[in-house]
Structure formats: C-alpha cells, structure tokens
Structure 1
C-alpha cells in the first residue's frame, strides 16, 4: 500500500518541455507505485491547492507532489502558473504548517546561457519549504545545454533518486527500459485517433481541391484538436478555437491567435546582408490587411463544400479583424512543412494520407470537463494532422520518440514477428536508451540534425508497427517561430516588417541542414500566404504605458545581430510620435530627456550592418545616438565613420562602458530604461548586465554590491528588460 493519500505531478511549462517531462514522470511513478499518477498543470484551483495541503484534502495521510517547472524570460514563472504563484505567496498561509502534510521533489528545466537559470523552480521550491513541505530527494536543476539536455538529467539523475526513495527494491532506473532491456509500458495517451467510417455525403478532399491558405488552416485545425485534447487531460485552459469552427466563437472583436491566425500575404523580401555572406538575413514584409466582407462571402460560396478551413477563413475575413501590434511585440509565424515530409512520415507508418480520423480525448479523470467533445466530433485527414501537429523537418526527436519505436518493435516481437532487421533495430534502440548510449543517441540524433521522419525510415521494422496516435503523441510538436516586429505600426497600416536570419549549418558527417522556418521563408515567393498572429513582448516603450503628456524618458537600446529588429521599430515609433503636431516630445534635442541611445553589434560593417543606411542617417541628423560595434572589422570605413569617429568598440558591452557617462545620465539622471535583445548562447545578455554594473560603479560612485542592487531595482521596475533567444 502506498504511504501517500495522493501522488500528483504538477508542471509549469512555457514551450511544452516541462509538460513532456511530467508525462514521463507520471507513467514511471504509476509503474513504481502501482497506482495511477496523472500530470496536472499548476493553476489556482481547488485541485492544485488540495494537492499541496492548502485546502482540505480529506485526510491526514501525507501527499506526494512532484514539481516540474520551467523558467521563462528573466527568471519568470510560466504564464499559466502565475496565478498559482501569486496565490502561493499569500500571507494567509501559516509558515511551516500550510504544507506540513506534503512530501515533494523538484525538477527544474533551464538554460545556463540565460542569467535567470532555473530561477522559477528555485523560487517555487524555496516557498514550499517555507510553508512546511518536506523534500524527499535533492532538487535537480537540468540544463538544456548539458550533454543529453534535460532528458538525461530526468532519466539518469532525478528518476533513479525518486524511485529509490519510493520503492527501494525497484531496479528500474529509466523511464522506459530497465538495465536488462525489458520494456515498460509507456502508459495511456492523452487522446486516441479513431478512424471515421466513410459516408456517401462526405466530400473527399484532394490536395488540389484546397487553396494554399485553406490547406494551412486545415493543418492548424488539426493541431488545435491535438492541443485541445492534451490540455483537457492535464487540466489546462482550452486554447482559442479557429473562428467559425465552434458555434460559440463568433465574437468579431477576437484577435488573431495560435489556432485562429491572420492569413497574411508576403509582399516583399530583400537581403539585408551582402551577397554570398555565410549568415544571410532577410527583410520580410507582410501585408495583414483583411479581405472585404464581399470577398469573404464569395469565398464561402466557392468553397462551401470543400473544407471547414474555408469556413474558418471566411469567418475571419468577414469579421475584418486587423492584425494590430506595438513596437516591441513579436509576430508568430507557422512554417509549412517541406513538400512530401508528411507523406513520408505516414508512409513509414503504412497509413494512408487521406485516412479520416477523430481526435478523441482520453478521460484520465474527472478533471476533463468534456468541453472538447463538440470540437473533436469533426474528422480530420491524417495528412493535415501531421502537417499541423508534427515537426517533420525541424524538430529534434526526443527520448520519447525512440521509446515509442522500441515499444512498437518489442510488441511485434512478442507477437511472434521474426525479422533480422527488427532484432538489429531493437538492439540499437536499447543501446540508445541505456545510460551508456546517451552520447551515441546524441551523435546520431541532435548532432546530425536527424528528423523524426529520417528516424522512422531508418528503423523501418519498428516504424511499421507504430500506431498513428502514439506516433503523433511522441513526435516533436510543430511550434510557431517568433520574430520581433522590425517596423512601427505608426508608419504603414496593415503591414509589418520582420528581420529573419536564415539558419544553416553543417553536421559532423558533412550533412547540410537548414532550419524549418528559414527554409520556409527563403523559399516563399511574393504573394505567398503566411499564417501569423501577435505575441505581446516584454519590450514596452515607456510612453506606451500611458497617455501622459510629459515627454517620455530616454531609452538605451542594445541590439546585437538580429536583436536590432525591435529597436528599429521602437525608434521609428518614437520619432513618429515626436513628429505628431500634438506631441510634446523633443526626440532630436541633443542631450534631451527623450533621446534614444542605440548600441548595435555586427561582424562586418560592409557585410552585415543591418539597416546600416538608416542608422547612419539617424545618427548624422542627431535624432538618435547610435554606436555600432563590429567584431571582425578594425574600423568603420566610409559613411559609418561620420558617427563613429573613425574607431569602434568590438562588443556592445565594451561600447556601453566607453559611453558610460551618456548611459548613466540616461538611466539615472533622466530615469530612462535599458532594453536588450539578442542571443543568449553568446553570453551577451550577461555581459551587458556586468557592463551596466561597471557603469554604475564608475559614474555613480557605487560599490559593486550597491551597483548590483541598483540594476536589480531597474529590473523589478521593468526599466531593465532582456529579451533573449
């Protein structure tokens, strides 16, 4: 008998990684404790509170809570868990007693290249300990950049420690395979894919029957059904459905969102870097102007019998909802899969691309309120399901992908299949999933950039025994890609510009790889349809917080590489407002309180000085203080020397210290803000923070401790904001 009255895996996830870990933990603990253990999203509801002893749990026995927490932004709690975190901080809870009947274990997911590495998990653990929870295993703070990533930390460190405590006699040390290679059941799926019987009145759709936008929307609708089912099983709020798909969703004011996106048109695409440069960057312009209601009605009439996607598109166009955004926001884009990738995926599973299925959520417990029933009644084609839900080209197959193949192959062998290739594949998969095979799996998979389709095709014998629903559940999910808006909404209504780096690389074995969205953008032609929506960013200009008449404070903008994109939009927006007849801003006044101080970082002044002509013009006119840094160029020739004085700093953090008096005046004297955007993997964000500490010490007369407290004060006031990628 389990010593616990309940055992719950609670997760806080921003991108899905913590949710994936929660499912691994739930099925492993169900096996170890011989009882059902379901994952559940952290939220401010009675179930979560009772699990933590913060509400009546109906007994005196102890409860076990496993926390699986990701960190996002600058050490922030994932969005869906923030209400819970606020509730947890309430002063009404008795210190040392509120969670006195709770045993817990904490698994954090983070990236050590970010300043706030695993801060969210550490904060939540510390608070629960203050409230009296007892820790049964040491916390594990996984690093995505370590060998094996968070999966290795979960399977090789956290799970063995946890299972040893809960079931000391157990010899299992992995989520799917024990040391002897015997298979452990992977557990229940969050949904099942039920084939639909053919009906005479159904219209069979071929790819040629759909417009490009309709095909994309069919894929998004299928992805919505999968996400809806997965969220229903873990107690998360349902996503916003596609317009026209659910009868209750007819609000014309609804903004575009992940499963109800705007269909934009690509109207311009031009290189921002020199021809032949090994790190090309494109300037992409999208028109997001909605169709007229007349065009929408014609679209409905033309495609009424073809697809539900046509109805969704027509409902969106008829509502005439524009894609609105502000400087500092991101535009999310859903890339389309390479031609034939989804068909190859289905061919490996021996599934017809035109198979019509219904996504039926699995009722894991009473927390599934049944809201998904109506939405899931409509069938989808297998090809749309794969195109919308599975990243066939850009997603790295996780451990669960190899586990699913191993389970499928082992079940075939147990059923009597005799195949030499099957046995070889099973041996390879067992090695990949063993402790000794972590490096081999990394070299085979992530180092070579192998896709889930390629893995299926190389493990053919196992793949043909893999069910479609298990494959979809374990395959890497197709995620949108976020790009900062590089233009101000004030300048071109209905259009948005993006700064897109084309990501290509070579593998250790000489394979040439291209990122999924990079391939999609670089192959798109003028007039192509792009599904997109707005994601609110953390970078918010001070004057956009209120309509106050006093001139806004200055801003210090640090944007190396493509991190310059949001700051181009910010400068454009601020100058546009300054030019307004009703504005009191004096953005061009030298040393004025409303000035923009911009630090740019590139490699070569002649090859990748992004929007260089614009920055030079701004600097020469005195409308902005521009300081460019070129890590591979000894000096700035030609026009650039007009504002660089003939010499340059090589790094943005060096330039910040060189211009320390200007930076200190903007941030301290005039109470300005500092925004940073760029890659976290280079350590840039950490270097900028250290540079600001040195500026405070050198120009503010502070000690090191005082300077760090000052920077932390700016951060808490949202006057020092870092957006890293």
Structure 2
C-alpha cells in the first residue's frame, strides 16, 4: 500500500452525522471511541467524539447515529464522566414516553470477567436506551480484559463488522468513496509558534535592517506594533521606571502562577532544562529575570529529575511529601514504597470529607524525565521549536497548559505520555511520517487486520514504549504540529489511601490531612533487555521529602462503605494480597474510631513473612481483628512468635472436608483461598451476621479463586445446603455487602 502525505477533509453530507460518546476511568474506552470516530470520518460522517457528560439527551438526538463506549468501574458502576448523563437518562419522568425512539445507537463495553458484575455499565446503559425507545443499528460488543489478547480479542472483529455494516446500511453517494487508510485525515488540534525576541530580530533582518532596527512599516497595525515595542523597551530601562500602579499590575502578572512568564522564572534549574525560555519574557520585567536568561551560550539541558513546576489541573491541591520509605527489603522481588503526604483541606473542614474517609484515593500526575524528552526532540528534529512558546488551539481532554501557552518541551514533560505502550492507531499514523519504504511496509504489516498477534507480540507483550518504537523506526519524523494528535495524554494515577480514622487527623490542627499510600513500583523484565518501568513508578521512586506536587483527593468509585456507627458494628471479612492491604488498613483504622466495633477476619496473602507482610506489627493493636496470613513462598512450619491475634497458617491442603470448587493451579501453594476454606466455620459465623466482605489485590485469578472459596465456606459451615444455594446467597445484598477492588 502506498501512503500519501495528502490530507483529505471528509465530505459534508446532509443527514450523515455520528456522535461517539465514551465513559472511561483509565482511558481505554476513550482510545476505542477515538478509533471509532476516525473510522466514521473515513466514511464521511460528520463526527464528534466526547465523554458522555459533555452531552445532553437533546444533543444526542440530533445525530444520525450514536455509538456508546463505556467501561465498568467499581462494583458494576458507571464511570465518573458518565454520571451526569446517566442520571438524566434515569429520570422517572422519562419512563413510558418513548422519548428516544428516533435514536439509532450501538454500544461496546469494556469489562473484566474476574468481576462478578462483568460489563454491567454497558448492559445497564443498553437496557435503559432500549426501554426509552432507542433502536440498535448494530449488535452490542463486550470486551474482556481477561482474554489472552485483552479487549482486542472481541473488539477488533466487532470493529471490522461495524465498518462493513455502516457502509452497507448507510451507503455513500456514487460520486464519493471512503477515505482510504493510506490518506491522512486533518489534525484535530493545532500548535502555533508565538513571536519571540529572536523571531523579531530575524524579521528585522529580512526587511533589510540590522538586528534590532525598526523595519519599514507598511500598515497602521505595524506602526502601532513598532511604537508599542519601542515604548516598552524604553520603559524597561532603569532610567524609565514604571509608575506605582503600573508596577503593581506588572508584579501581579509576574507572580501569577497562570501567567506564562512565571513558568520561566521559577528557579535556576528551569533555565538549564529550558535553555531558550528567555523568549518568554514579559515586557516590563526584563531586569528582574534570572541572570541565566542573558547568557550568550545557553546551558545544555540537564538530564536529571523532572522539573518541580505544576500544571493548573482543576480540583487539585498542593501536597507536601513528608516521608518516603521502603516497605520491603532491598533484595525482595518487588520494590514497595510507603509515602506520607500533608494535604491542605483549603476551605473544607475534615468533617466535610468524613462521608468517604473509609476509602479515599489519591490521584497523582507523573512527569516524563528530561533525558527521554530530549531524546524524542532530537529523534524528531524538533530542536528549533522545542523551547519556543506555542499557542494551543484546541487541546485533548485532560491536557492542561497555563493560559493555553506552553513550549513543546513543556508539553512533552508534563502532558504527553511518550513512554506509553503504543496503540494500533499510532503505528498506523506513523506510516505517513516516514519516507523509508521498508519502515512503511513493516508498520503496515503490524497494523493489518489478521495480524493482531504480531502487533501484540511487538508492543504489548514486551511492553515496548513509544520512544523505543521510534528507535526502531529512525526514518519517522513527526511534524511538531501533530504532537497533540499523535501522543496520548498523561493521566492521573489513582492510589488507595492506606490510612484512615484518627491517623488522617494528625495534621488537622493545620487544616491538613496526613495521607499515606502504599505503592508497588512497576519494574520488571521482558524480552527487551532494558528493564521495564512504569511512568508513575519511575516518577514516585525518586521523589524526595519536602517536594510539592499537585494531587487530587477523592472518594473511591463504587465503594458501598459509608463510615458510621452502624457500618462499624457489622462484621468485616477482608481478603487482601500484596499492596491490596492498603484500603483494608484504612477501613480497619476508620472502624477503630467507633465504639463497639464488630469482629474482623483478615486473610492476607504475600510471599514471605519477613519481606512483604505489610503492617503486621499494627494488627496486635486491634484486638477485634484476627489475621490469618498466607505466605506462599515460605516453608510451612509453626511460628514461635505466634500471638493471639495473628494466627499462623499451617498446611493449607489438610482441610478436613472436600471443597466444592477445587482449584488446580494453586495446588501445593499457601494462598488466601486455602485459609478461607480451612477456617470456614469462622467465616460462616460472620456470614450469618450480615457482614461486609472486601476483596483487594491482584486482578488475575485471585478474585475468582477467593469467591469460590467463600462459596465453599458457606457450604462447609452449613450456612447453605449446596453450591447452587451458595451462589444465590452470596449474590443477595441483604445477606452480604460485597466490595472488590483489584488491579
């Protein structure tokens, strides 16, 4: 296939429009929505892609066709950016009105079959749309993250069938053909270089004058511009000081965090990392700038840690890192860190967030490292543009810049995820930006329908990053103006807060919250020689106490756990593995702040007692908590240091009864599911008392195995008579509140 540099605008055809609406927590549903929108554009649909909450029902009805793409979060819940739309859709007054009878829609759901309520968000949305009279123009699809090739296993065949169906059932006029894949679509976003002092001098020279000399003016606008520039230059001199009012206004602009010049003046390190930011001066304060701005030879970028400046992200506060410690020995297979932050409540009192204090999440936005940013700039040939201010005209959702102005280097550092695993669309678009026929051929092979396994083996399986892919395709030169269209946006990472109750109030006297998180850093090896590191893991790993960063504190999505005295008096059966203990610890600490707290059974799984038995010393302070630890890599032997509250696990395979749900893969291991069966009688006692059951940890086979063990425990303890009744019993919210958080 021959790929062209030509850009083709879709035709404007009356009555041919499509809206693709997504609900997404992690960005996967958004990625699919964008791909569907691009496919629709190639079929000459006037296409809009946006999150559900950006649309009203009346807006949706104006489109010829609507595709909904949504993930499921929490316990079968809708994603956060769909809640307003979903609330409007569920209004009782819409019942039996047939108000959506003119709507033609399709829906694709993203789910994880390890959850009991698999793809519930998509199913609920589909059912409500049909109930209100909407008609499906194409069959629904349900992707499963647990499949060998993830969501793509179901999505890609569905996607191909959808395109065929659209072209068949909504044919184009004979004179118009679909836009082929080898032709570029117009960009969605625009980057425009702003005039700088260097550019002014170059422009003067082009007009025949020496650098700094006024150019011959041709229009009144040019005359006004030159007069203002001369005036401002004169008034910047010490012999022509500003008036008091002018100086106050200039200082305010200079110190305002949202004024671009402030970015360039934060500290000396910024000058070294952004050597050409002298172009961002504001007119009245030249003599107040850091002296490094006036070096004739700008310093080379420092290949150190990411800069400390923060983006203007809505609903964030500036947190201070108080402590950063290792939570596992240095020789342990996993690097686990325990971080503590002070977070200001600003105008909020502690009681205002107490309604979700049992399960908070902390959102942190990581940054790229200067060495990676510099490598990409050199690889793409962006040296001339990298540090020149850019005006951003339209930006992807989740990208933040001060007053819509940033440099390319700043965008690559703070906003664009250049170390993400590339999506299929990224490879497909790269074909337009290389003149090397071998590279075009190889990129084309990787993105061909039917070559999904080869694409997966090249990108996802080894976790190859965008930067590493571009090293393989050195002929690729992406125009800087396409950066916002090509690279994904860095998303905030959510971490379960691992403390609660009184420990949150340790800094309350300063109107701060003392918040802790337990983080397992993502570091591993694949067939690629260089070890893999997650973007946020690398960022957090090198944070030092005292550093400040923008964070968001919020309630975890989908949690049914509302702290109050009645909640604390219900028994708790908690099952956690690894860092899944974080939200469980917060819940236990929160319950401890109430009187007459009910009993807690904690089944905690890790590898070694001496390495990753997190917070084990604390459980002795909670007499109502009985802990059964499962050490999967330790020899099973009596522990001489046994206490009454921590019960050592013995041979998990010596359960005296036959299990109803035998699991083969975990034979001869010591896992939490074995202990649940072994202590089924204790589980049964609490199961009869309307307990809260929490399952937290790895999202692999653990949740399914734990659920099977709970069903077995119900039968073993004679709470129910048989497995069928156990299934019904566990699914009944009047018997048990079941909450699962896995990743």
What TM bracket, shorter-length normalisation? 0.7 to 0.9
From the superposition, tell whether residues 500 and 654 of structure 1 become closer, same or farther in structure 2 (CA, over 3 Å): same
Aligned to 2:412, which of 373, 382, 386? Answer: 386
- Equivalence for 2:394: 361
- Equivalence for 2:192: 194
Aligned to 1:644, which of 644, 647, 659? Answer: 647
Tell which structure's C-alpha radius of gyration is larger: 2
Aligned to 1:264, which of 290, 299, 319? Answer: 319
- Equivalence for 1:349: 380
Aligned to 1:608, which of 596, 609, 612? Answer: 612
SS in 2 for 1:460: coil
- Equivalence for 2:655: none
From the superposition, tell whether residues 85 and 407 of structure 1 become closer, same or farther in structure 2 (CA, over 3 Å): same
From the superposition, tell whether residues 66 and 157 of structure 1 become closer, same or farther in structure 2 (CA, over 3 Å): same
Report deviation, 1:85. Answer: 2.8
What is the distance in 1 between the residues matched to 2:362 and 2:30?
A: 24
SS in 2 for 1:723: strand
What is the distance in 2 between the residues matched to 1:382 and 1:449?
A: 26
What is the distance in 2 between the residues matched to 1:612 and 1:142?
A: 39
1:286 partnered with 2:341: yes
Decide whether the 8 Å contact of 1:485 with 1:565 is kept in 2: yes
What is the distance in 2 between the residues matched to 1:244 and 1:321?
A: 25
1:653 partnered with 2:673: yes
What is the distance in 2 between the residues matched to 1:85 and 1:717?
A: 28
What is the distance in 2 between the residues matched to 1:539 and 1:35?
A: 36
1:424 partnered with 2:438: yes
From the superposition, tell whether residues 607 and 40 of structure 1 become closer, same or farther in structure 2 (CA, over 3 Å): closer
- Equivalence for 1:692: 710
From the superposition, tell whether residues 49 and 496 of structure 1 become closer, same or farther in structure 2 (CA, over 3 Å): same
Decide whether the 8 Å contact of 2:149 with 2:456 is kept in 1: yes
From the superposition, tell whether residues 354 and 170 of structure 1 become closer, same or farther in structure 2 (CA, over 3 Å): same
What is the distance in 2 between the residues matched to 1:636 and 1:564?
A: 24
Decide whether the 8 Å contact of 1:504 with 1:513 is kept in 2: yes
Map Cα deviations across residues 145-164 of structure 1 (whole Å, 9 max, x no partner): 5455445654x422321222
From the superposition, tell whether residues 94 and 324 of structure 1 become closer, same or farther in structure 2 (CA, over 3 Å): closer
Report deviation, 1:2. Answer: 7.4
- Equivalence for 1:506: 525
Report deviation, 1:607. Answer: 2.3
Where does 1:231-310 land on structure 2 (aligned, <5 Å)?
258-288=313-343
- Equivalence for 1:15: 26
What is the count of residue pairs matched by the alignment?
Answer: 601
1:676 partnered with 2:695: yes
Decide whether the 8 Å contact of 1:673 with 1:720 is kept in 2: yes
Aligned to 1:29, which of 36, 40, 44? Answer: 40
Map Cα deviations across residues 641-666 of structure 1 (whole Å, 9 max, x no partner): 65425626422223223333333333
From the superposition, tell whether residues 7 and 336 of structure 1 become closer, same or farther in structure 2 (CA, over 3 Å): closer
- Equivalence for 2:60: 51
Which structure 1 residue ranges, 5 or more long, are not aligned?
Answer: 173-177, 217-242, 247-257, 291-315, 414-421, 579-584, 588-593
From the superposition, tell whether residues 113 and 471 of structure 1 become closer, same or farther in structure 2 (CA, over 3 Å): farther
SS in 1 for 2:370: coil
- Equivalence for 2:370: 339
What is the distance in 1 between the residues matched to 2:409 and 2:349?
A: 29
What is the distance in 1 between the residues matched to 2:641 and 2:585?
A: 19
Report deviation, 1:600. Answer: 0.8
Which structure 2 residue ranges, 5 or more long, are not aligned?
Answer: 1-11, 173-177, 198-228, 233-259, 275-308, 508-512, 653-669
Report deviation, 1:442. Answer: 2.2
From the superposition, tell whether residues 96 and 551 of structure 1 become closer, same or farther in structure 2 (CA, over 3 Å): closer
SS in 2 for 1:564: helix
Decide whether the 8 Å contact of 2:563 with 2:591 is kept in 1: no
Report deviation, 1:118. Answer: 2.1
- Equivalence for 1:440: 454
Report deviation, 1:722. Answer: 0.9
- Equivalence for 1:309: none
Report deviation, 1:4. Answer: 5.5
- Equivalence for 1:460: 474
Aligned to 1:635, which of 631, 634, 637? Answer: 637
From the superposition, tell whether residues 70 and 539 of structure 1 become closer, same or farther in structure 2 (CA, over 3 Å): closer
1:517 partnered with 2:528: no
- Equivalence for 2:428: 403
- Equivalence for 1:701: 720
Map Cα deviations across residues 660-691 of structure 1 (whole Å, 9 max, x no partner): 3333333432x33122211112x222233333
TM-score by length of 2: 0.72
Report deviation, 1:35. Answer: 3.4
From the superposition, tell whether residues 605 and 82 of structure 1 become closer, same or farther in structure 2 (CA, over 3 Å): same
Aligned to 1:209, which of 262, 267, 280? Answer: 267
From the superposition, tell whether residues 113 and 100 of structure 1 become closer, same or farther in structure 2 (CA, over 3 Å): same
Decide whether the 8 Å contact of 1:73 with 1:724 is kept in 2: no
What is the distance in 1 between the residues matched to 2:407 and 2:558?
A: 40
From the superposition, tell whether residues 677 and 137 of structure 1 become closer, same or farther in structure 2 (CA, over 3 Å): same
Decide whether the 8 Å contact of 2:37 with 2:48 is kept in 1: yes
Report deviation, 1:3. Answer: 9.8
Decide whether the 8 Å contact of 1:488 with 1:572 is kept in 2: yes
What is the distance in 2 between the residues matched to 1:479 and 1:105?
A: 27
Where does 1:75-94 land on structure 2 (aligned, <5 Å)?
75-93=76-94
From the superposition, tell whether residues 104 and 288 of structure 1 become closer, same or farther in structure 2 (CA, over 3 Å): closer
What is the distance in 2 between the residues matched to 1:551 and 1:50?
A: 45
What is the distance in 2 between the residues matched to 1:197 and 1:2?
A: 39
From the superposition, tell whether residues 244 and 468 of structure 1 become closer, same or farther in structure 2 (CA, over 3 Å): closer
Aligned to 1:470, which of 482, 498, 502? Answer: 482
From the superposition, tell whether residues 245 and 289 of structure 1 become closer, same or farther in structure 2 (CA, over 3 Å): closer
SS in 2 for 1:632: coil
Map Cα deviations across residues 19-77 of structure 1 (whole Å, 9 max, x no partner): 22222212211222x2312224324854x34635xxxx6xxxx9422222222222221
1:42 partnered with 2:75: no
Decide whether the 8 Å contact of 1:538 with 1:723 is kept in 2: no
Decide whether the 8 Å contact of 2:317 with 2:344 is kept in 1: no
From the superposition, tell whether residues 107 and 244 of structure 1 become closer, same or farther in structure 2 (CA, over 3 Å): closer
SS in 2 for 1:526: coil
From the superposition, tell whether residues 203 and 571 of structure 1 become closer, same or farther in structure 2 (CA, over 3 Å): closer
Where does 1:525-536 land on structure 2 (aligned, <5 Å)?
525-536=544-555
What is the distance in 2 between the residues matched to 1:385 and 1:44?
A: 25
What is the distance in 2 between the residues matched to 1:540 and 1:397?
A: 32
What is the distance in 2 between the residues matched to 1:455 and 1:267?
A: 38
What is the distance in 1 between the residues matched to 2:94 and 2:404?
A: 46
Map Cα deviations across residues 441-489 of structure 1 (whole Å, 9 max, x no partner): 3222222222222223332322x2x233422333232122222222225
From the superposition, tell whether residues 654 and 377 of structure 1 become closer, same or farther in structure 2 (CA, over 3 Å): same
SS in 2 for 1:654: helix
Decide whether the 8 Å contact of 1:630 with 1:648 is kept in 2: no
Report deviation, 1:278. Answer: 1.0
From the superposition, tell whether residues 404 and 551 of structure 1 become closer, same or farther in structure 2 (CA, over 3 Å): closer
From the superposition, tell whether residues 45 and 24 of structure 1 become closer, same or farther in structure 2 (CA, over 3 Å): closer
Decide whether the 8 Å contact of 2:310 with 2:549 is kept in 1: no
What is the distance in 1 between the residues matched to 2:171 and 2:585?
A: 58
What is the distance in 1 between the residues matched to 2:543 and 2:570?
A: 41
SS in 1 for 2:460: coil
